[in-house]
Amino acid sequence: MTLVKRCPALSLLNKILDKYSINSELGNYLFFLLLHPARILYAVPFYAKAIKRRFSSSANPPYSYPQYIHTVYKEIKYSNFSSGACFNKNCFKKSSVRPESDYQGQRSMKLACGEFNYDKLPDWNTEFDDPEQTMSMHRWNWLLTELANPKRHDSATWGIELINSWIDAQSSVKSDLALNSYTVGERISNCIIFLSCVGAKNKDLSKINTSIRDMTLYLCKNLEYHPNGVIFNHILNNGRALYYSGQFFENHALVELSSAIIKNELARIVNDDGFIREASSHYQFLVTRWILEIYILAKLVNDFLLCDILKERLSKMIKACWFLLVYNERECYWSFPLIGDVSPDFTPDWLVGLPWSMAAIDLYKPEILPNPPSKKGWSKLYGDIEVRNRMPDGNGVFGKKSFQRYGESGWFRIDYDNITIFWHVEPVGTPLFPSHGHCDTGSFVMFIEGEQLLIDPGRLSYVDNNEGIYGITATAHNQVTIDGYGPFLYHHRNRYPEFYIKSKPEVSYKWTKEGFEFTLRHDGFGRIIGDHITFERTFKVYKKRLNIQDSFIGNEKHYVGTYFHWSPGLEIFKTESANCFEIKGEKQFKQVKITISLDNLSSDGSKTKENIKTSWEIKNDWCYPRYGVKEKSKTLVYCNYMKFPFVNNYTLSWG
């Protein structure tokens, strides 16, 4: 990242970050144990369990299956796979969209990080620097993206040719990534959905059917249950694959196994509010898609029991997707903020229309149903509502004065006048389970008239390097750091005991005569050695103005960095006023004057008389709208070195 302007205090902060970026948390933790020796008694069992998990993770996977799964799993080897296959084409809407072009010679398939070009057939042994790119070749997601937006006149022939090519090359495929359980599950589901959608009933599919059967048996032996009962969203994906395969082969044991997975694990992954526990807006749409596909198939084959199990929670999942949607009034399109990880499987644009699919509308729809997105993706496969003449009136989904809250899930949204603000607050500060969340508790994402102003930059990739890790950190959010530490520990958090990383954020909110207030208070910084720090951030939302008060409670001097990430296309200009900036864009916000300023306040809220030096920096930064894709953006950083208690007061105005 190139620095546009340097300042002494911020340079020192950056040196602290650079020097201790790898070891500072570990060093702080060791000092923490020295100062609290009684905690060592709790740390020892934690690491003993970690060592045990390390060795048990290499054991035969079925040994980790819960008893209710193991009982059904044992029946698979005695079950029959029909020689034919059951195609459920009635799930799908016949496409009337013309292909973009008729590919001759040069061919391509859509992978996680863009198009992969090949001549006649792909080299299935191609490996990329990013494992997710390699796995996306073997997941066959490209079959569905082709169906939704065809580039060829005969997608069926193209897809079946590639499937057969992959099967022929299977014995020579060297990468173990092709045998990753999640990848195998995706391959099964995507293949069956594709074949059903194109109506391949009269084609010779004996080789493909044999391959799906073999992949299914492999997945049954490698379900993603982990030692000590740890699971995450992958197990639902495994269940979806087995359900589709079970119905495809009319194998009752498979259907029973998949139903047991879905029935028992759905409530562990998706809470009672309908939100996935893994704290990612993109994965909310992705996992909702999986469960909706299971429901669609279950309804078609009259699996009433599974439909009843799914119906209530799935309707809440769809409602949660609506919670995240924002309508851009200038460009007339729908989007959602990219909070948490961005999945490599399918782009946000491909999933954004999911709530408008006919299957989703049957389960949940808002009181006023707005027009669907013009750009089609997943929902096109299953049929969505038709575009009507009436466009959204600018009120979006929730109107001009509305506060939506899901406290147990940690999701909050305010729509007030022409702005929308989202907050995600991890209920325990740092998640104690596998998660796609980031260090965003205390951060926020802001839209004006549906256009992003302050963003969550997302995450470039899952590669364990500086750029891949950056998106997780506090500095990649509209967030605060103290002495280079984020408020909560995310990266490698499984290396630290719960007593060191756990916190309990407190949220309060209220409507006032002037507008709305949202307050977050936590002791996440309390782990920093040498002080007892509590942090409180209050957002005061008014018409054409947002005030943010950051209160730092403690007794020592600290470096504080405060980060504001602006949408791509926006530029930041220093004004003549101290600590005041103007934000402009060539396309967005052309008619809106946006300013941000900072006042330093004493702990009682009055303007301080101390000569506090505030440094600032405009950074050339990045945002990541899709997995593996980055766009240039700007970040404004304020830096203080000050004695606590203290208050920073930021005012953002527009008009």
- Whether residue 553 sits in one domain with residue 646: yes
Instruction: Render 563-616 in DSSP notation, one character per residue.
Output: EEEEPTTEEEEE-SSTTEEEEEESSTTTT--EEEEEEEE-TTSSBP-S---EEE
Other Cβ atoms closer than 10 A to 96: 5
d(CA 326, CA 340): 17
Task: State the sign of the Cα–Cα–Cα–Cα dihedral 62, 66, 70, 73.
Answer: negative
d(CA 146, CA 198): 11
- Whether residue 125 sits in one domain with residue 44: no
Out of 234, 256, 290, pick the residue that ends a domain.
Answer: 234
Give a yes or no: residue 255 inside a domain.
no
d(CA 132, CA 114): 12
d(CA 214, CA 212): 5
- Beta-bridged to residue 335, according to DSSP, are 326
**In terms of Cα–Cα distance, which of 365, 350, 283 is closest to 319?**
365
Q: What is Dmax (Cα atoms) for the chain?
A: 83
- Whether residue 138 sits in one domain with residue 42: no
| pLDDT higher than 90, residue 264 | yes
- Whether residue 43 sits in one domain with residue 182: no
| pLDDT higher than 60, residue 348 | yes
Give a yes or no: residue 40 inside a domain.
yes
Give a yes or no: residue 350 inside a domain.
no
- Whether residue 46 sits in one domain with residue 73: no
Please give the pLDDT value at position 432: 77
CB 297 within 8 A of CB 247: yes
| pLDDT higher than 70, residue 585 | yes
Q: Is the model more confident about 398 or about 571?
A: 571
The CATH number assigned to the domain holding 493 equals: 2.70.98.70
**In terms of Cα–Cα distance, which of 342, 346, 565, 350 is closest to 461?**
342
The region that residue 242 occupies, defined by phi over 0 for left and psi between -120 and 50 for alpha, beta otherwise, is: alpha
Please give the pLDDT value at position 149: 81
Instruction: Render 445-499 in DSSP notation, one character per residue.
Output: EEEETTEEEE-----S-S-SSHHHHHTTSGGGSS-EEETTB-SS--TTGGGS-HH
Give a yes or no: residue 18 inside a domain.
yes
Out of 183, 211, 234, pick the residue that ends a domain.
Answer: 234
Place of tokens 């008239």: 449
- Whether residue 85 sits in one domain with residue 36: no
Residue 383's pLDDT band, with cuts at 50, 70 and 90, is: confident
Residues 515-527 pLDDT 10s? 999 999 999 999 9
Other Cβ atoms closer than 10 A to 360: 28
- Whether residue 78 sits in one domain with residue 42: no
Among the listed ranges 7-16, 429-438, 544-553, which one has the minimum average pLDDT value? 7-16
Out of 234, 254, 288, pick the residue that ends a domain.
Answer: 234
Residues 20-54 pLDDT 10s? 444 488 889 888 898 888 888 888 888 888 777 76
Please give the pLDDT value at position 47: 85
User: Which residue range(s) make up the domain with 230?
Assistant: 69-234
Please report which helix (H) or strand (E) contains residue 300, including its range: helix 281-300
- Whether residue 208 sits in one domain with residue 101: yes
Angle between helices 252-269 and 304-324 (to 10 degrees): 40
d(CA 569, CA 574): 17
Highest mean pLDDT range out of 123-127, 142-146, 291-295, 373-377?
291-295
* Pairs from 197-204 (Cβ < 8 Å, separation ≥ 24): 197/89, 197/91, 197/92, 197/147, 197/381, 198/147, 198/155, 198/156, 198/159, 199/87, 199/89, 199/156, 200/87, 200/156, 200/160, 201/87, 201/89, 203/156, 203/160
Residues 452-477 pLDDT 10s? 999 999 999 999 999 999 999 999 99
- Whether residue 87 sits in one domain with residue 47: no
Give a yes or no: residue 88 inside a domain.
yes
Retrieve residue 475's tokens.
């500095």
| pLDDT higher than 50, residue 168 | yes
d(CA 564, CA 157): 50
d(CA 437, CA 458): 10
- Beta-bridged to residue 275, according to DSSP, are none
d(CA 536, CA 553): 8
Residues 188-244 pLDDT 10s? 999 999 998 887 666 778 899 999 999 999 999 999 998 878 899 999 999 999 999
Q: How many domains does the structure of the chain reveal?
A: 2
Please report which helix (H) or strand (E) contains residue 542, including its range: strand 534-542
Using DSSP's 3-state secondary structure scheme, residue 417 falls into coil
Give a yes or no: residue 371 inside a domain.
no
Residue 537's pLDDT band, with cuts at 50, 70 and 90, is: very high
Give a yes or no: residue 275 inside a domain.
no
- When computed from its CA atoms, the radius of gyration of the chain, rounded to whole angstroms, is 26
Q: Is 217 exposed, middle or buried (0-12, 13-18, 19+ CB in 10 A)?
A: middle
Place of tokens 């589901």: 189
Give a yes or no: residue 478 inside a domain.
yes
Q: Give ∠ CA 619-623-626 in degrees, rounded to 5.
A: 170
d(CA 341, CA 626): 10
Retrieve residue 379's tokens.
């929902």
d(CA 93, CA 406): 35
Taking CA atoms, 450 is separated from 206, 248, 370, 446, 479, in Å, by 50, 43, 14, 9, 22
Please give the pLDDT value at position 542: 95
CB 95 within 8 A of CB 197: no
Residues 306-338 pLDDT 10s? 999 999 999 999 999 999 999 988 888 899 999
What's the chain's average pLDDT? 87
- Whether residue 550 sits in one domain with residue 423: yes
Retrieve residue 333's tokens.
């399109």
Q: Is the model more confident about 419 or about 80?
A: 419
- Show Cβ contacts of residue 393 under 8 Å, excluding neighbours closer than 6 positions: none
Among the listed ranges 54-58, 457-461, 626-630, which one has the minimum average pLDDT value? 54-58
- Whether residue 92 sits in one domain with residue 30: no
Retrieve residue 447's tokens.
């839209």
d(CA 326, CA 100): 28
Please give the pLDDT value at position 361: 93
User: Is residue 131 reached through a cis peptide bond, with omega within 30 degrees of 0 on the bond before it?
Assistant: no
- Whether residue 172 sits in one domain with residue 40: no
